[in-house]
């Protein structure tokens, strides 16, 4: 068992990853932003830190630099977690001091293997993934049912519980994205859409990944009219996703 600190601003992603690692035998604590992540690491001295890079207050790159500059925390390995797949992002994380880099949505078995590599013998071997339930009628382009079931199992939830949580959080995130655009706060648009893409990918709701990433990219380019169009398109897609998730939840409950 290892003591793991997860620094992640998205509540759903933070909770799911915490539950999944705890059920694999790890002692997990969390922080919602870079500033609290630094403080928690300095006080608790965990064995390993999983660091989201797109964080409020202090981002993951700066938090990593500060932790690596502090003799008390410099030796704690840090694994970067990011939805960005470009080599330049990997290089940036390593330059900041990260010991490894994992892309979102998190592939749990791959992450556990990386954790075992950076921690050595302290990290437990990953348990086998649960057998997939028989496929039920849904729309494969909208929801990857087996992945959603596996995540629910890892978290100790029913499919209906995960579906309810995902739908509630995504509805809230879309509202926050729209409000941030109204407030002309494109940094917040970018942050919320980034989190939304990560949560969708983790839960197997593939149909929401690209719409959220498109909003994030448009916000990064300061293209406000395009953001507005993409938010409306994401809302339409989300309505279809909710129908597919409701059908999946009903089938699994029955």
- pLDDT per residue as tens digits for the range 226-239: 999 999 999 999 99
Residues 71 and 157 in one domain: no
6 has a pLDDT exceeding 70? yes
Residues 83 and 166 in one domain: no
Rounded mean pLDDT, 230-249: 94
Residues 17 and 92 in one domain: yes
Instruction: Give the model's pLDDT for residue 98.
Output: 95
Residues 177 and 221 in one domain: yes
d(CA 153, CA 131): 10
pLDDT band at 150 (very low <50, low <70, confident <90, very high): very high
Number of separate domains in the chain: 2
Question: If you average pLDDT over every residue of the chain, what do you get?
Answer: 89
Between 11-22 and 145-155, two packed helices, what is the crossing angle to 10 degrees? 70
Domain housing 116:
3-122
Higher pLDDT, 139 or 254: 254
Domain annotation covers residue 28: yes
Cα dist from 120 to 17, 24, 79, 97, 113, whole Å: 21, 16, 14, 19, 10
How many angstroms from the chain centroid is the CA of residue 48?
17
For 18, other C-beta atoms within 10 Å of its C-beta total 19
Instruction: Give the model's pLDDT for residue 126.
Output: 41
Instruction: Give the model's pLDDT for residue 134.
Output: 39
d(CA 71, CA 241): 48
Instruction: Give the model's pLDDT for residue 139.
Output: 39
pLDDT band at 120 (very low <50, low <70, confident <90, very high): confident
53 has a pLDDT exceeding 80? yes
Residues 6+ apart with CB under 8 A from 77: 47, 48, 49, 99, 100, 118, 119
Here the CATH number for the domain that contains residue 154 is: 1.20.120.160
Residues 77 and 117 in one domain: yes
Residues 6+ apart with CB under 8 A from 183: none
Instruction: Give the model's pLDDT for residue 85.
Output: 74
Compute the half-sphere exposure of residue 190: CA atoms within 13 Å on the CB side of its CA.
17
pTM of the complete model beyond 0.85: no
């Amino acid at each position: 068992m290892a003591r793991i600190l997860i620094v992640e601003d998205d509540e759903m992603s933070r909770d799911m990853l915490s539950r999944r690692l705890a059920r694999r035998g790890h002692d997990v604590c969390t922080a919602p932003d870079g500033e609290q992540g630094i403080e928690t690491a300095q006080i608790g001295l965990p064995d390993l830190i999983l660091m989201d890079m797109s964080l409020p207050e202090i981002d993951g790159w700066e938090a990593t630099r500060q932790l690596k500059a502090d003799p008390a925390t410099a030796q704690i390995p840090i694994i970067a977690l990011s939805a960005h797949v470009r080599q330049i992002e990997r290089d940036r994380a390593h330059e900041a001091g990260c010991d490894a880099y994992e892309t979102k949505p998190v592939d749990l078995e791959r992450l556990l293997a990386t954790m075992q590599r950076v921690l050595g013998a302290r990290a437990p071997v990953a348990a086998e993934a649960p057998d997939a339930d028989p496929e039920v009628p849904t729309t494969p382009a909208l929801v990857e049912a087996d992945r959603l079931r596996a995540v629910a199992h890892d978290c100790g939830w029913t499919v209906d519980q995960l579906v309810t949580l995902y739908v509630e959080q995504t509805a809230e995130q879309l509202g926050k994205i729209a409000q941030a655009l109204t407030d002309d706060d494109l940094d917040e648009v970018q942050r919320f859409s980034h989190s939304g893409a990560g949560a969708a990918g983790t839960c197997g709701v593939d149909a929401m990944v690209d719409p959220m990433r498109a909003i994030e990219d448009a916000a990064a380019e300061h293209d406000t009219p395009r953001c507005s169009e993409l938010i409306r398109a994401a809302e339409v897609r989300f309505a279809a996703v909710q129908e597919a998730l409701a059908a999946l939840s009903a089938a699994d409950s029955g």
